[in-house]
Amino acid sequence: MKIINAKNYEELSKQAADIILTQIKINPFSVLGLATGSTPLGTYKELIKSYNEKLVYFKNIKTVNLDEYVGLSPDNPQSYRYFMNHNLFDFLDIKKENTFVPNGCTKNIESEAENYDNIIKNLGGIDLQLLGIGLDGHIGFNEPSNCFFKNTHTVNLTPSTIKANSRFFKNEEEVPKQAVTMGIGAIMQAKKVLLLANGKQKEDILNKALFGNITPKVPASILQLHNNVTVIFCE
Ligand code: PGA
């Protein structure tokens, strides 16, 4: 595991974008696993900048996102599909049909979950998976639990996650209580993992995840068993 202590958020974003750009240079047909949240926003801005400077093209890139809220349609500004379109995809030459985000607004969420695993499988798995980390140690929306969930599944969000994410909503009540998330299996099968953690408030959980016991109570701790993880942290 490689751990980089970045000077500040700008450096973290630049270094993360560099790793993604290198991946695209090595393989312009890469499958990128992408994340939402505040942390990757700077990285996405850097990617857009590089695209505008004609340093990179995304026309053959495919993406799979980690998760989506249950009950939010893709045109809901709080949905993760909306987030990805408005913070990244709309500014690149990526083909929208090559970008995948779980559908949280379907009657049959179980078959949607199965379908999502098939999509990842049919793409040949993930070359580089970008991750944030929740204050409770979640990756994607794999919340602390008694076991690691291998496949894409529906999850009840923890009070900590609901509270943390309420900053994007009018109030806590409005935060969906469930999400559909890629499982630990697809994340662990990604060839490379890039975990970003921004801010002093993430330091404690990051230490637990990287140096503590490997336990589903701290889902990110499973990454200790992955053989190609880069972590970028800044206070
Ligand atoms: P954040 O979320 O980037 O908004 O801190 C990270 C996460 O919950 O995975």
Instruction: Locate the domains of the chain by residue range.
Output: 2-234
Q: Which atom of ligand 1 is nearest to the CA of 196?
A: 3
Q: Which atom of ligand 1 is nearest to the CA of 141?
A: 9
Ligand 1 contact via 33 beta carbon (within 6 Å):
no
CA of 58 to the centre of ligand 1 (A): 25
Length of the chain: 235
pLDDT reported for residue 183: 98
Q: How far is CA 215 from CA 130, 177, 222, 231, in A?
A: 21, 24, 7, 19
176, 71 contact by CB (below 8 A): yes
CA-nearest of 38, 34, 14, 22 to 197 is 38
Mean pLDDT of 98-121: 95
pLDDT reported for residue 70: 96
Please choose from 78, 133, 196 the residue to mutate so as to test ligand 1's pocket, defined by most ligand atoms within 8 A of CB: 133
Q: Which atom of ligand 1 is nearest to the CA of 131?
A: 9
Mean pLDDT of 113-121: 97
pLDDT reported for residue 182: 98
Q: Which residue's CA is the closest to the ligand 1 atom numbered 2?
A: 37
Q: Give the CATH class of 2-234.
A: alpha beta
Report the mean per-residue pLDDT for the chain. Answer: 97
- The predicted-structure confidence for 37-56, as pLDDT tens digits, reads as follows 999 999 999 999 999 999 99
- The predicted-structure confidence for 189-226, as pLDDT tens digits, reads as follows 999 999 999 999 999 999 999 999 999 999 999 999 99
Ligand 1 contact via 43 beta carbon (within 6 Å):
no
Quote the tokens at residue 145.
């639990």
Residue 226's Cβ-count burial label (10 Å; 0-12, 13-18, 19+) is middle
pLDDT reported for residue 7: 97
What's at 182, amino acid-wise? M
Specify the DSSP element, H or E, that contains 66: none
What's at 215, amino acid-wise? T
pLDDT reported for residue 30: 98
- The predicted-structure confidence for 121-131, as pLDDT tens digits, reads as follows 999 999 999 99
Ligand 1 contact via 38 beta carbon (within 6 Å):
yes
Mean pLDDT of 107-135: 96
pLDDT reported for residue 115: 96
Ligand 1 contact via 37 beta carbon (within 6 Å):
yes
pTM for the predicted model, two decimal places: 0.97
Catalytic site positions? 67, 136, 138, 143
When pLDDT is cut at 50, 70 and 90, the band that residue 98 belongs to is: very high
Crossing angle, helix 9-26 and helix 41-52, to 10 degrees? 50
| Distance in angstroms (rounded) separating the CA atoms of residues 58 and 89 | 9
Ligand 1 contact via 22 beta carbon (within 6 Å):
no
